[in-house]
């Protein structure tokens, strides 16, 4: 009977853990959210940003900057490795040598306004394809 109670408690905790994970607000950003955050970031850096800013907007602008910088550095590193004849898919590489973060954000804002299906694409996929298209690794 003691073993049976331990099993029931374990199952209860397992169920509780899965319900917490399922309701977790952490989900991947889609391309539409990335575009919106980067548009705010671009306006903040280059123009006189007159809208009131709350903590969530500041957080999302920082997220845009962080995603762009991290993915850009990764794609540049993979470009260097690809040049060394490693078997790396060309779609994952980009020659971003000398390119600044704000230049990439500028392209996201320019090209994002032309896209119609941004909600259905993950931010990482969209950004990877866009960067690779504009700055291919040769």
φ and ψ of 53, to 5 deg = -115, 130
Kindly tell me if the per-residue pLDDT of 2 is higher than 50.
Answer: no
Domain boundaries along the sequence of the chain: 30-134
What is the CB-side half-sphere exposure of residue 37 using CA atoms within 13 A? 21
* Pairwise CA distance, residues 40 & 74, whole Å: 24
Quick: pLDDT tens for 118-136.
888 888 899 999 999 999 9
Kindly tell me if the per-residue pLDDT of 116 is higher than 90.
Answer: no
Quick: pLDDT tens for 76-95.
999 998 888 778 888 999 99
Quick: pLDDT tens for 12-25.
665 655 665 555 55
pLDDT given at position 84:
87
* Pairwise CA distance, residues 43 & 51, whole Å: 10
Closest CA to 108 of 45, 53, 58, 52: 45
Kindly tell me if the per-residue pLDDT of 62 is higher than 90.
Answer: yes
Going from the C-alpha of 57 to that of each of 26, 47, 103, the distances in angstroms are 16, 16, 21
């Amino acid at each position: 009977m003691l073993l049976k109670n331990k099993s029931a408690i374990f199952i209860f905790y397992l169920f509780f853990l899965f319900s917490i994970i399922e309701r977790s607000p952490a989900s991947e950003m889609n391309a539409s959210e990335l575009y919106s955050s980067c548009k705010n970031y671009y306006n903040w850096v280059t123009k006189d940003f007159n809208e009131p800013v709350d903590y969530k907007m500041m957080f999302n602008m920082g997220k845009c900057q962080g995603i762009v910088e991290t993915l850009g550095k990764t794609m540049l590193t993979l470009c260097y490795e690809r040049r060394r004849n490693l078997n790396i898919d060309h779609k994952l590489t980009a020659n971003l040598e000398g390119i600044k973060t704000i230049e990439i954000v500028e392209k996201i804002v320019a090209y994002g306004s032309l896209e119609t299906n941004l909600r259905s694409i993950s931010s990482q996929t969209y950004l990877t394809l866009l960067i690779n298209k504009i700055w291919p690794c040769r």
